Structure 1
Amino acid sequence: MGYRVVVVGATGNVGREMLNILAEREFPIEELAAVASSRSTGDEIEFGETGKMLKVRNIEHFDFAGWDIALFAAGSDVSKVYAPKAAAAGCVVIDNSSFYRMDPDVPLVVPEVNPEAIDGYKKRNIIANPNCSTAQMVVALKPLHDAAKIKRVVVATYQSVSGAGKQGMDELFEQSRNIFVGDSSTPVKFTKQIAFNVIPHIDSFLDDGSTKEEWKMVVETKKILDPKIKVTATCVRVPVFVGHSEAINLEFEEEISAKQAQNLLREAPGVMLVDKREDGGYVTPVECVGDGATFVSRVREDSTVENGLSLWCVSDNLRKGAALNAVQIAELLGRRHLKKG
């Protein structure tokens, strides 16, 4: 016996990836509904590579009563209105937007890092999925923090355009093509040209000069991993279609060598260590696409601080950064609480 599952925002990048991953991981499903806005109502979408086609239903008229789990991938505006309705109808919401992440009554969960946090879902019947950059970072940091207690994190991200949705991917493609043929490349989705460029600006600016994306990494890391950790982030959009990268500098309370860190990361759940000190002995975004792992490379000691390490972290942002983590939360929910299938 399986679950009755709803994917909200099923026609978007993350929603489609959720359908793919549900099929790939053979999540126990009794019935599956693809839900989106009125623009997509009646369209058909494939359930992974199963060959099964789902007719898209209109969220405005969808009744969540009797459904077990709803995976939301439609943005904060939709989650704000419809997640409470689904939750009130008895359907557990796993929300990919930022809207509920910092709600003290909503657990923010990365299953490899803080699985026990999911037990608090009954307060609101909602579980939050973290920001894509936060998710991959905390997977890499968890085993190191357990071993030597991280005091401070300094991270610079190199985030792909798929983090800005289909519009972001289309803009990179169109601008790249236009530049090659000599046409103009006026920015629309991004604030500046993204093709052959980098933009140190993701989401809106806050009063202190940081961006909301940077703020998310700070507060979400504290909520998921440890409120005592100090975090500073610089988030940059780069001309890569899929896959976020991070250069992470860590300061620990206790001594930890690069060798110890490598050994811990090699055994850590969700982490794939690829760290050969030779040409090509590291992972880049192109190589992580379609994989669920958080890849770690370039682990080395930082002699400028006491007990310091630096490392490179790469992951498919549509997968571990969004869809895969949501499905893993659903699996964890099933094992710990819903007990079907």
Structure 2
Amino acid sequence: MDEASRSFTAGEVKFFSQCDTGSIPVIVLFTKFDYLYNVAYTQLKSMGTSWKDAKALAPKHAEESFANGPQLNFLKDVPRPPKAYVCLPSMDNEGADCGPLIEHTAAALDNEVLKQLFVSTQQTILELCMRYAIEKTLLEHLDPAETTTSGGQKAIIAKMGAWFPHISVRLSQSLEVVLINVGHLLASKCKSVDPPLSLSYVEHVVPLFADELHDDHCVEIQSRLLSVPSHSLPLENIIQLISAVVVIFEHSFYIFDKWHYIWDQQKHVPSFYVALEQYMASLHAAAVRKGVSAAVQAYEEAVATAAKRRESSYCRAKVELIKTVLEVALNNRLSRPDNAT
């Protein structure tokens, strides 16, 4: 792999010259490095080295020559050089050695990088939590007759809380809701469990450090969110509740993550209460109400049009409603607390 056999392409030159990866490390891999062993062998033979010694010394000679070669000289001079480089010979062979790559990768990932990667993964997971909480809850409760009661609305809040990893739902006489904490994650396993999952099993699965969501919490959240004067129909009230709750629970995760190491488990204020106060005081609350109101109006118009045409399915209208509500929630997330991981 000399300069003639592998010079940098225009795309690679542009990457190292113009692309800024921030603190995310870049490692350059030189594969098929064993090609240079043949070049080194020939050079050593031309210098009078025996074929046996030339064969043994070729790998080391190739590495020494490569260290001063044009490829590495180029990488040293680019505006944004890589964190490391790794030479990998014979990678087409079974049992090829990936040890050097693993070692250099581990060395390149310092604490700050790991933190940023963790945050990126964390944000992706929370978006999925929001998506499933909205999709599943809306599909189950689009019939307003089932959810206009206080108990029905409380159940909605509890079911949505169960989708978030830092919330443990603990409603009185409600094993079904508690099971949601692990039911979705273990759904594929539950059928094979014998005996069936019990409450004691669930309590062992639920993290020891979590914000517990009780009946009185749900009542308080429901009361605060629906206290704003509204002439809306029951369906819109329910969707307003769902949209606000998912934003609050998402934000509460960062508060929980920031605080849980220093909490007095007997006296701390639940993270979702803090998030509730911040949400109510923010401009996002009004934006969510406005966005949801428009989405529900569009949904009801689509349903009315489908009824006039005697269409039996409202699937498209439901899909559009759920999509819009999710967008409203994602676009109105609260800013993360300072120093949150």
* Range class of TM-score, shorter chain: under 0.3
If the length of structure 1 is used for normalisation, what is the TM-score?
Answer: 0.24
Higher strand share: 1
Higher helix share: 2
Structure label with greater radius of gyration? 2
Larger RCO (CA within 8 A; separation ≥ 6): 1
If the length of structure 2 is used for normalisation, what is the TM-score?
Answer: 0.24
